[in-house]
Amino acid sequence: MATQMQMARQGKITDFMKLVAKQEQVEADLIRDRVAAGTIAICANINHSSLIPRGVGQGLSTKVNANIGTSSAYPDLEPELLKLAAAINAGADAVMDLSTGDHIDISRQKIIEQSTIMVGTVPIYQATVNAIKTHGAVVDMTSDDLLHAIEQQAKDGADFMTLHCGVTRETIMRMRRQTRVMDVVSRGGSFITGWMLHNEKENPLYEHYDDILDICEKYDSTISLGDGLRPGCLADATDRAQIQELIILGELVDRAWKRGVQVLVEGPGHVPYDQIEANMKLQKQLCKNAPFYVLGPLVTDIAPGYDHITAAIGGTLAAASGADFLCYVTSAEHLALPTIEDVHEGVITSRIAAHAADIVKGIPGAKEWDLKMAKARKVLDWDAQMNLAIDPEKAKGKRGARNEEGAEGCSMCGEYCSVKIVGEYLNKPVTYCNE
């Protein structure tokens, strides 16, 4: 079966392309042409039967991902399925299953089965857990272990898979020569780096890239080229290791596109505000406008408990400067596994950042949404305001808890409501001096 990219290159407009075009209020042939060029990816594994596909990339609304998944400390699957539902209800476009707890296969299969949105995975997490069980240590993991995990997750229906193919021996040497404050903060990147340093061998994901392309082509699973050396603090941002890895990722994009395999490219990380725009433009240049997927970026290191806000600040500028896909950050980042409430709040916060950028990018419908809200506020139409809110339930809760039932204004201004006062006078007939 052909991939979405291969069909687009044959001039075909698939049902998925038509659906994405309808969602985005654009012509279907535009979607087809950009899928063919690689600047839009429709992450839709042929085995993900419950999926309502979405497009990620050039000219489309900025998408939002939520991370969920079990851990060794919290191995129970049920809370993660509730987080999946919370992410979908909050308007996420994708979830990533980052499970490392018990029964990883079952966790992934259940999440994919119940998800109507894109599901991403990180196969090296499972390969690592299996290697510890089978061989006794992560560093004893084999290439076959990695390829088996990738094949299994693609077969199960993973729409996109994060693979740290750009962490090469050369990249690591550059990092060691320059030195970093926090070295490697990517979990997958650390597994690969540790394996390479211990075994004194090249990254098996890089060496077996053609085998990975075979798997992804078979299931139309999108490769999300992971940034294993992304900066974990502001001091490490935009350094030689990060840029060296990005250069390699650009080359790997070319190789995937030649095979008709769709690609996302992942980016930082922790980045000072004044470096974000340059990072986005550099990625787009080196990776030929492949869809860019960023974590945050977080614009300061000092806000544990509020990192959903630091990420939203960076995410708005990143998306306005070219990023296509924002990975949410919750208030639990750097502290703990997120709760269901953290997931909801994280998705909404990231969606606000994405929408603010979509206004700047001129995405169809973005400005119109805000205009409808402004008009509802002018006439104090509270029902319309609640329905237009990005988080209607929270807005209704605040409104109901702090205002008398049926109040025309709000308890902030009360009888001194500026909208009401000025509206009363502006709506009166005007008599001019010369009349």
Collapse the DSSP code of 369 into the 3-class scheme (helix H, G, I; strand E, B; otherwise coil) and give the result: helix
What tokens appear for 53 in the block?
């596909």
Annotated binding site for substrate: 67, 96, 125, 164, 186-188, 227-230, 266, 293
**Residue tagged 């008709």 (tokens):** 260
* Dihedral angle sign, alpha carbons of residues 130, 133, 137, 142: negative
How many whole angstroms separate alpha carbon 286 and alpha carbon 48? 31
Q: Which residues are known binding-site members for Zn(2+)? A: 270, 334
Nearest Cα neighbor of 309 from 323, 293, 320, 297 is 297
ω into residue 91 within 30 of 0, thus cis?
no
**Which pairing describes strands 263-267 and 222-225: parallel, antiparallel, or unpaired?**
parallel
Q: CA torsion, points 211, 157, 5, 21, in degrees to nearest 10? A: -160
Q: Are 239 and 176 in contact (CB under 8 A)?
A: no
Residue 354's SS3 state is helix
Helices within 98-168 (DSSP H only): 104-114, 123-135, 143-156
Annotated binding site: 67, 96, 125, 164, 186-188, 227-230, 266, 270, 293, 334, 410, 413, 417
Q: Compute the Cα dihedral for 286, 291, 279, 295 and give only its sign.
A: negative
Residue 208 DSSP class:
T
Q: Cα 41 to chain center, whole Å? A: 13
Query: In 271-339, which residue ranges form alpha helices assigned H by DSSP?
Result: 273-286, 307-320
Which is nearest to 148 in space by CA: 171, 115, 121, 126? Answer: 126
Query: CA Rg, the chain, in Å?
Result: 23
CA distance 303 to 291: 29
Bind-site residues for [4Fe-4S] cluster: 410, 413, 417
In this structure, are residues 351 and 313 in contact, taking their beta carbons and an 8 Å threshold?
Answer: no
Q: Please say whether the beta carbons of 265 and 293 come within 8 A.
A: yes
